[in-house]
Amino acid sequence: MTTVTRAQIAEHIYSEVGLSRHESADLLESVLELIAARLEKGETVKLSGFGTFSVRQKGRRVGRNPKTGIEVPILPRSVLVFRPSQILRAVVNGESTEGLVSESDDS
């Protein structure tokens, strides 16, 4: 298992698009900052053919310490959720993407 880094993505942008390495890194950072800013505001970010990022609110609930069995309160919080598109799911599962329509074409 390998991890894809920002540097690797920026290098790929550099080699595919032809921007300078610095411009490629700046472009990547701008895109990631835009996505993060929208999620921070509670908005949904949909990348057609890839998936949807959204923020879900979890309410206060009671949990249990597994060692002691004592109940402890779990405070409300926001969680980030990613839902992959049908196309991404098919690619990851080695299935054909033929006949799948990108999410933006679902109108």
| Model pLDDT for residues 12-36, shown as the tens digit of each residue | 999 999 899 999 999 999 999 999 9
Checking if the pLDDT of 85 tops 70, the result is: yes
CATH number at residue 48: 4.10.520.10
Residues 89, 45 share a domain: yes
How would DSSP label each residue in 60-94?
Answer: -EEEE-TTT--EEEE--EEEEEEEE-HHHHHHHTT
- Give yes or no: residues 48 and 30 share one domain: no
**Structural tokens at position 32:** 């990631």
- Is 106 a member of any domain? no
In a domain, 15, yes or no: yes
Q: Indicate the pLDDT class of residue 1, thresholds 50, 70 and 90.
A: confident
- At residue 106, does pLDDT exceed 50? no
Q: Are residues 32 and 67 in the same domain?
A: no
Q: Could you tell me if 85 and 72 are in contact, meaning their C-beta atoms sit under 8 angstroms apart?
A: no
Strand partners, 58: 77
The model's pTM? 0.75
Task: Answer yes or no: do 50 and 88 share one domain.
Answer: yes
Domain that holds residue 81: 41-99
The pLDDT assigned to 98 comes to 81
